[in-house]
Structure 1
């Protein structure tokens, strides 16, 4: 009697172990995917923080450099694009445009020694530098989470589960080729 049920018990045990492995793998992928989304959100938070600082910086510069309207407008336009970015790639492109516009703005500041000495400007500049550092850390954390996730969905046998449930590779937050050109700013 025992020998009749042994193959059934073995089959049930194999199915149970396989089911637990599938559930564990799926839950691991969910966790890694959510971690990457959280880190992406952290980047967006820091980009928004920087975007919120920019109007104050622009208004401070306007008071000293009113005839530099083209540079000031380019900062405002780039900030708007960043605020309206709907995807990681759009945010990356808008961020590069904003970096370029801010670099041009800081070059303009060089022509106004009184502005560089202004306490509000110095405070805003320090906050902007701190935010840039936070953005750098957030990008690194995001890319680390994406690397962990992407590696997981490509490894065998997890790749099978990832394909079954539609998990796709996530993009890294990479600098554009234009960011390789460092603007000259002398303070």
Structure 2
């Protein structure tokens, strides 16, 4: 009788641990889906932005080509690591594009450009929030996989650690740097 109770308790523990890992993995996948939606919206916005800038900055061909190339690499990226690298390249190319607008007052005043710039800024904020949520879900999932007794079950049941969606070091430094104020 005690062996039956031990088997039942063990089965309940295995079931609870397995179901928790499945739930955490699904939360991580859902969080990635949220990021993916925002990134696709960003990718869809880039061609409109490039076309708007083309009319004003025709001799800035290299900058425009870099944005288009970076967008395509982001669209084509496969793994999470490749996606993160491609998105970081796209962010850098877009920063160059917006810096270019400083040289063209007519472009800077263009209503379509301003609208696209605002929309892109909103998307960047949504992507950052989604990335934080995703990375939190990944941390929770990875921690659960490494904790006892889940560590005994994770490998045999195919649970593997997930990668974080990281911002490039230069981007992180730009975001985290305190502004300099002088009078």
Partner Cα distance (1:173, 1:182) in 2: 17
Is 1:176 aligned with 2:168? yes
Structure 1 gap segments, 5+ residues each = 1-8
- Say whether 1:36 aligns with 2:37: no
1:71 equivalent in structure 2: 63
Q: 1:26-66 CA deviation, whole Å, 9 max, x = no partner?
A: 11101101111111121111111111111111100001001
Counterpart residue number, 1:167: 159
| SS of residue paired to 1:64 | coil
TM superposition score normalised by structure 2: 0.92
SS of 2:148's equivalent in the other structure is coil
In structure 2, the gaps of 5 or more residues are 176-183
* Structural mapping, 1:53-64, within 5 Å: 53-64=45-56
Which aligned runs of 4 or more in structure 1 are off by greater than 3 angstroms?
A: 180-183
Report the equivalent of 1:150: 142
Q: Over the residues paired in the alignment, what is the CA RMSD in angstroms?
A: 1.3
CA distance in 1, matches of 2:172, 2:135: 19
The CA deviation at 1:78 is 0.4
* Distance in structure 2 (CA, Å) of the matches to 1:59 and 1:84: 21
TM-score for the superposition, normalised by structure 1: 0.90
Deviations 1:75-95 (A, max 9, x none): 000000110111110110001
CA–CA separation in structure 2 for the residues paired with 1:141 and 1:39: 7
